[in-house]
A and B are shown apart, each in its own frame.
Chain A
Amino acid sequence: MAMQLDIHGHAAWAYTGGKAFNPTLPVVVFIHGAEHDHSVWALQSRYLAHHGRAVLAVDLPGHGRSAGAPLARIEALADWVVAVLDAAGVATATLVGHSMGSLIALECAARHPQRIAKLALVGTAFPMRVADELLNATRDDEPTAQQMVNLWSHSALAHYPGNPGPGFWVAGVNRRLMERQRAGVMHADFTACNDYSNGLEACRSIVAPVLLVLGKRDVMTPPRAAQDLIGALPNARVVQIEGAGHAIMAEKPDELLEALRAFVP
């Protein structure tokens, strides 16, 4: 089941976790990362939707089924998330963001503190600098850039229990999902991550409780790259997941769910 919204004249699409969206329940918004769509959250979003929460796993502008061009700046994406809340009739929500989505969630909570109940940052880092080779490849040679990201996102050649279920090859799923995104999206996303400079400022305005979920074997956003954020968010809860790379939702779906279950209202 899904929700279709009009945001600034463009169709925006969100998966509601297999349940009709009921804004009277605590709302959780899942925000995917670069060159991805809502389906990276399939398991976690479906679980919470069937456990007393109203879920919106969005496709960001230009990604998946959402129309329009990808937005160039994290700040604009943060405002877009609030526009989604407005359009869906939601007063306050918990945000769960992965990678680029974690920056969007952070900035959104800083700009609109009264709208955000809690904040979960998964596979996060600040600054989220992108190596020049990768950033250039996202512009000049998307297949190569996708190959780099896919290799760096996974910590192993085998995953239990498999995502979205047994019999799926996690790296293959991620590769095809990236290939499905429109040309130009990857460069826009990685540029937005690389350009975002307001992270530590944003932390100062955060009033909501914060959870960071980090993969111990993440080489894209390694735990040490989250240390500045952790320093600036003294009350944040930090969960490090053993044996997880950057693609925490796929590599360790149950461990991530446990962390979210204990945190999300």
Chain B
Amino acid sequence: MTPPRSPGFDTLSLHAGQQPDPTTGARATPIFQTAAYVFRDTDHAAALFNMERAGHVYSRISNPTTAVLEERIAALDGGVGAIATASGQAALHLAIATLAGAGSHVLASRALYGGSHNLLDYTLRRFGIDTTFVDPRNLSAWREAIRPNTRVLFAETLGNPGLDVLDIAGVAEIAHAAGLPLLVDGTFTTPYLLRPFDFGADLVCHSATKFLGGHGVAIGGLLVDSGAFDWERSGRFPELTEPYAGFHGMDFQEESTVAAFLLRARREGLRDFGACMAPFTAFQLLQGIETLSLRMDRHIANTRAIVGFLCEHKAVASVNYPELPTHPDHQLAKTMLPKGCGAVFTFEIQGGRAAGRKFIETLRLFSHLANVGDAKSLVIHPASTTHFRLDDAALRAAGIGPGTIRLSIGLEDSADLIDDLALALRASQKP
């Protein structure tokens, strides 16, 4: 028999988590701009506080608009639920703070967004959480770096800056063999291009600021749980499997077989660190997600056109995109990312730092700024901006060349983007 079909990605992008508002009939998700919620009576209040009833108490802990976004991303990623946070950074912090504490160890890819690297390599060390960084392509390095106090493995679906394609199944197997969960940053791929849970990841964090929103108007993050990791069997997570004095002695794993992680993260990390998402932000991100697949297809089509153009250009020394046979993860990308490898990539301009600077300053359509995943095309030259303090040798060590340019391809007409790039490339090569 052909099994009944589950609702498709586009249907979930529009409907998961939201129905017309029962009191007003509003079809769009209303912005519930309220800090708190009236209790029906004292028993209702006590039951909400004690998790005997589901519902909203205070918008730091949950909010009806934000909850729609949380359910929607969980549906799209194939998880059990999610927590919306103030930023992508806050989502990563919430994940780690829920699983690790002073004396714990995190094992991370060394190919990370700079902000994630800062959090792990500097800030969390101040709080007693130690991180080891490994080459994400080297599976034995992952295996060998696990320690008795390791609590989580962490990497990006597409690493920074080399677009290393994470072998999620390979790293997840290593994590699971050690009784550990794998947390993956899915910002560059979104669930439309890649669903990390389908390959064995246990937790996903997103900077929703990027492609999920797609408009570059709101900062936000999402932390999604697959619900598949067995905390009890692992035995390494007393925070989830033993009574928590900070919340009515609740043993989260007993309370819910598949929701323990998110219950703890909401009742502890979101409650106490307080990095919640504002309802207006959730509304803006929902507007973006409604058109996620349409936008991603266009981002990819434009990216492919521009990658093709750059590969042929004599002012370009090399292009780094996993769909190219020259990329080290080309084969892996073919199996894991058949719809495309995202819309952020780098290339090397001939002529080093000076040419890079000239190129950036000549571009008109591309915006020179430090972000990715906007509907508008973006550009940055790391050697003259984010990494300007480093000399050429230090740059190389970070996987960046003096002539490395990073593009984030938007939704403009690709012919106009190519014209803009052609003009700037020509200018960059003039003495």
The chain A residues found within 8 Å of chain B, CB to CB, are: 1-2, 15, 18, 37, 39, 42-43, 46-47, 50, 64, 133, 136-137, 144, 147-148, 150-152, 156-169, 171-173, 176-177, 179-180, 253-254, 257
Contact = CB atoms under 8 A, between A and B. Distances in A.
Contacts of A147: 3-4, 6
A166 B56 contact: yes
A162 B54 contact: yes
B296 interface: no
B17 to A, nearest CB: 5
A186 B250 CA distance: 30
Contacts of B243: 1
Interface string B213-232: 00000000000001110100
A156 B19 contact: yes
A2 B40 CA distance: 30
Contacts of B82: 167, 169
Given A166-B67, A167-B71, A169-B16, A50 B258 contact: no
Contact of A164 (B84, B248, B259): B259
Given A47-B53, A164-B256, A167-B262, A158 B228 contact: no
The CB with the most chain B CB atoms within 10 A, among A144, A147, A167, is that of A167
A169 B54 contact: no
Interface size class of B (residues with CB under 8 A): 35 or more
Contacts of A152: 4
Contact of B4 (A151, A162, A165): A151
A169 B53 contact: no
Interface in B1-50: 1, 3-4, 6-7, 11-12, 15-19, 22, 46-47, 50
Nearest to A2: B254
B227 A176 contact: yes
A179 B53 CA distance: 25
A163 to B, nearest CB: 6
B226 A157 contact: no
Contact of B53 (A136, A144, A156, A257): A257
B81 interface: yes
A172 B75 contact: yes
A173 B257 CA distance: 9
B75 A253 contact: no
Contacts of B71: 158-159, 162, 167-169
Nearest to A15: B254
B240 interface: no
A167 B227 CA distance: 13
B70 A177 contact: no
A167 B67 contact: yes
Interface in B255-285: 255-259, 262-263, 266
Given A158-B71, A253-B54, A254-B53, A144 B3 contact: yes
B54 to A, nearest CB: 4
Contact of B255 (A18, A168, A172): A18
A64 B256 CA distance: 11
A169 B80 contact: yes
A166 B279 CA distance: 14
Contact of A158 (B17, B250, B251): B17
Contacts of B16: 157-158, 169
Interface in B151-167: none
Contacts of B174: none
Contact of A18 (B11, B15, B248, B259): B248
Given A39-B256, A158-B16, A176-B227, A164 B3 contact: no
Contact of B257 (A148, A151, A167, A180): A180
A102 to B, nearest CB: 21
A121 B19 CA distance: 29
A132 to B, nearest CB: 9
Given A157-B17, A169-B74, A180 B258 contact: yes
A147 B3 CA distance: 8
14 contacts: A47-B53, A147-B6, A156-B19, A157-B15, A158-B68, A164-B263, A165-B54, A165-B62, A165-B263, A169-B79, A169-B82, A172-B74, A172-B75, A253-B53
